[in-house]
Amino acid sequence: MTNNRAFAELMAFQRQTEALAGVAGRLGWDQETMMPPGAAEQRGEEMAAMEGVMHARRTDPRIADWLAAADPADAAGQRAVALIARSYARTTKVPSDLAQELARVTSTAQGIWARARAEEKVADFLPTLGQVIALRRQEAECLAQGGDLYDALMDDYEPGATAEVMGAMFDRMRPRLVALRGAVLEKAPPAAIQGHFAKEAQLALSREVAGVYGYDFSRGRIDLAVHPFSSGGGNDSRITTRVVESDPFNCIYSTIHEVGHSSYELNIDQAYLMTPLGSGVSMGVHESQSRIYENQIGRGPGFTAHLYGLMAARFGDMGVGSADGFYRAINRVQPGFIRTEADEVHYNLHIMMRFDLERALVRGDLAVGDLEAAWNDRFAADFGVQVDRPAHGMLQDVHWSVGLFGYFPTYTLGNVYAGCLFQALNAAVPGVEAQLAAGDCSGAVGWLRENVQRHGGLRTPEATIAHACGFAPSEGPLLDYLEAKFGALYGL
């Protein structure tokens, strides 16, 4: 067998694995959008069966032989081989029966969490959460092989990241964030928008806004879900949003956030389709796209001026009087319970809290039965507000029900990356705010497409951001951006 033949056979095998992963992803999308609730147990068995097939493929002994013999001719091929080797090394450490049980339990756990959240019953969710944590700990023990369990789980979402490095970054960020929050909250808040915003009008507006950002509806769609998410890749990447009729920003900015995720997938070079390079390189880089779409672009003075016109045409007077008042209302800083609705000043403090809690859960330092009290105590300490009900507390996020331990820190890492990208974007695209005010996102999203999105998994996460920005990423640009923006808004 020649080296080229080994590489060709490896990539052909991987293509089928990627196709099956897409099918499994579609099952997950259906579960959270269309599936009747009575099908939950059956869907759990279906997901377990799919995981069994996927695990068998990812641990096929032929992969080791192909990897040893493959000699790709270019950087893309070399990177593909490296990613397959990484997946093979990790997957072979986890027994198939454990992988299948994780798939089954986390599939059914999502529905149990959703019901507990709707009924405000933490006790109904805790046994299942304990089961999920126990299984993820078993998986982490297989992967870590004596190392840190939380690091082993985080590596699924941000390869190479460690709790020590992330914790040190959070420690550097916290003082400036807390100081900024304190200074802002001493000032009188701007007026909030007022009115009733009908569901169908919000959904129509969300589709229009997605179109302004260039979302490709021929390869995507928008549906409703309890917790907004993006699903899929290649030429089929779908998003969901949610509607609160008293708060249209919930729907609009959930949509924009998920459009950022989905656009990353849809804009990857078609040459990488159904290869290891054909999806986002990490969740931190993924979140950089959703967060820069949502915040630096979507909450900036340019785009909010355009959005004000769209909303005034649909909903009439909103009690803010002008585009400037609307911009201030969108960027209103106030302590709130819900992470996904948090302003830019508070958002990363939500993540830091979850990082500490879930690391304690994984390491066995916090019992599942003590989680609600620990959450409520920490929230009161960090935000100065007492949690009023479980849906505003530990039941608000879907992540733990589906086993995504180690995922939360990638949100702040994504914000850090977004701060770097926005600095580079402004240097590369003069007058971008004026373009956005005219409803033209092509300069901003085009720069992101060319410099980040189209490259998919070609480079490591940090190298992806450094290549786009021309400098190594750090938290400095994000903190400088936040202080400048909110300093101007609040006259600090």
Q: How many CB atoms lie within 10 A of CB 94?
A: 19
Q: What is the pLDDT of residue 154?
A: 97
What's the confidence (pLDDT) of residue 1? 45
Residues in CB range of 342: below 8 A, 6 or more apart: 336, 350
CATH 2.40.30.10 fits 163-490, yes or no: no
Whole-number Å distance between alpha carbons of 401 and 397: 8
Q: How far is CA 199 from CA 9, 205, 225, 241, in A?
A: 51, 10, 14, 12
pLDDT in tens, 124-159: 999 999 999 999 999 999 999 999 999 999 999 999
Question: Do the beta carbons of residue 54 and residue 21 sit within 8 Å?
Answer: yes
What is the reported pLDDT for 2? 55
Other Cβ atoms less than 10 A from the Cβ of 127: the count is 12
Convert the pLDDT of each residue in 364-417 to its tens digit: 999 999 999 999 999 999 999 999 999 999 999 999 999 999 999 999 999 999
Report d(CA 455, CA 280) in Å as an integer. Answer: 9
Please report the sign of the dihedral spanned by the C-alpha atoms of residue 79, residue 85, residue 89, residue 91: positive
Q: Work out the number of other CB atoms within 10 angstroms of the CB of residue 217.
A: 10
- The number of helix segments (H) and strand segments (E) in the chain equals 20, 3
Q: What is the pLDDT of residue 340?
A: 87
Q: Which of 32, 158, 258, 433 is catalytic?
A: 258
Name the residue ranges covered by the structural domains of the chain.
3-147, 163-490
Residue 200 annotated to the active site: no
Please give the chain's pLDDT, 492 residues, in tens.
457 899 999 999 999 999 999 999 999 999 989 999 899 999 999 999 999 999 999 999 999 999 999 999 899 999 999 999 999 999 999 999 999 999 999 999 989 999 999 999 999 999 999 999 999 999 999 999 999 999 999 999 999 999 999 999 999 999 999 999 999 999 999 999 999 999 999 999 999 999 999 999 999 999 998 889 999 999 999 999 999 999 999 999 999 999 999 999 999 999 999 999 999 999 999 999 999 999 999 999 999 999 999 999 999 999 998 999 999 999 999 999 999 889 999 999 999 999 999 999 999 999 999 999 999 999 999 999 999 999 999 999 999 999 999 999 999 999 999 999 999 999 999 999 999 999 999 999 999 999 999 999 999 999 999 999 999 999 999 999 999 999 999 999
How many Cα atoms occupy the beta-carbon half-sphere of 438 within 13 Å? Answer: 8
- Cα angle 8, 14, 15 (rounded to 5 degrees) comes to 90
Give the predicted TM-score (pTM) of the model. Answer: 0.95
Handedness of CA 75, 157, 423, 446 (dihedral sign): positive
